[in-house]
Structure 1
């Protein structure tokens, strides 16, 4: 019989994720309600993505120095306070700033939560515990989306954000009692030595710095290195992941806005995003089984094709149709892209990265990876606003899809290298 230490604290992950899981979609709808456009949405979400690098640096270093419980409680308290202040953000710039503050505060709990999982059981039980942790996290995000989908019919968006703030505050109060102070303390580097811990950590925040990379670290992207086999494996893998995150930023940043502009009401927009989350949860359950039977690079290649083609189809519908066809196509192709394809690509590509950082210079390899991912997220979200504003939502989605098809070809080449 497996005997864990007290792991009741893990249930806190569900309501805490419920307080933030639907926020990016709510912020998008709130900006449009205030009279904003795709550029305004892009700037707000780009600012949030820009905050991810310094926040992952700062809170990562703090995780090696600060008491786990204290850092998680600071994260919950800061997130709750920012959400409760949302009614005061009555302009788009204030809304963007407050959303970035929520991003900064919510990321503080990412690493200490993962380390607490490792400190709550013997190593042989980590896989089972991380599986439960990931499931509760996903269910929290799904709960947030379902709750927002229902409440948006009756309440204003800032009132929903107030409710989410109260949920975060209640989680903070419960956390004071439930979150333990571990007797043994792991350093962050321990996360890199266990596959489940690494995949879970990077799923919540795809950036982790053991130290700040220097310019010399990026020489792996030199043309001489890229064109030469087999030394081009790592830079091509990283470039493939960069292309994925740029494409995702181009599409995901403005997709909810595109649904709204193309005739869906707020509840309809949230319904499409919620169904996507349901399929993402299913996809992560399936991906583990597939990775046991097939090569990671093959799964990444096929998932990129599926995601790219789904984006392109959604782009065609957005270019041609309005109203009900947008809703139906969203219910079919968005879950394929954001649910199944995303979970498969994430699981396969992160496994490939885990093999690299586990075998080579961990600090340098992970620092380069985290930097290029952070820059890609920012660049993709920024480009999305300009593409949409000047050439339309449909073309923006098709550009994102085309990038992924090209990316799939890159992974096919990587497979042959």
Structure 2
């Protein structure tokens, strides 16, 4: 039974990951045994400043004063967390704060007036061990409700430059990485504009939409770079995160719309969308709104929120639904062409020339699988010092997808989707005739 109780704590420890920065958290009448706050990768010169104000404790009922040494904060690595759970399960300790595997930060039995209903605590400790730590609040007194305001600051001191780095050790290079990718997309945008100008006689409306997607992606990366840069220097995004969320939302919506439009052949094969395709867009756009709201809540609320796990599930489910929805129009297009190819020579040639749709379908699946599954697995198995590799892998996959889409659907004088000469049509009709005779 005790192992079943400890399982959610184990899962929670690995599921909650947030951005590291200066964070202010409010806890109201919370009786959870553990609350996870910030996760941070320290170097050998790491520091934690913790201030807890407006502490209010509500015991479960009349009785002796609770032992407040069983209530407090500690730092813990993933390995030490597993050891603490084993100690609790085997009965070696009664509270997380009693384990020798943790780094104690502060407990509520601070030498102050115990009858005072509201207290303030603060501490500053140096973390000399290079590792990924999580700041955890432990409440080992059953049904004790705790209210408090928590202000936590985690950073690494850089002796060479005598500066503070508020980004986790594995994320300190993210501002430069995002800015490099911004320059790459800026270059791609310039190349695309030049292509549209040179091939302006064969440009379709969708090509301008593709340009908008590239520009939005570039701005998204720029504001992400600025967001991380400000956090790195000051511990706060100073409003850059708002711009990042806006352009991330626009980039996500336009990318999914682009996949739908290309998959249905809009602007290449037909100037309009059918009802089924419009319904896909009507579904995808609101889902992207919900997905982005969930992402903002996850990033900003921090893991102390009781409903954070629910929001994570909402984000994951919505993201999967969006990814699946954009594949349907491509399947419909391929199916219609295949059916038409059985009776019409021109459609048969179209089917041969439209193999790019099938290639695009495969590439979309690979892109979705890599960015949603492979990147997550890479981040899970990679050391905290190399957290940036997950970002690089995801951005490289996205860049490859953009380049593939742009190259294969670039404006051409002789559009491979539409160009069919008489000889090809006659050959296709003859092939269909032979197939029919063979079946008879």
TM-score by length of 2: 0.25
More helix as a share of residues: 1
TM-score by length of 1: 0.26
Q: Whose radius of gyration is greater, 1 or 2?
A: 2
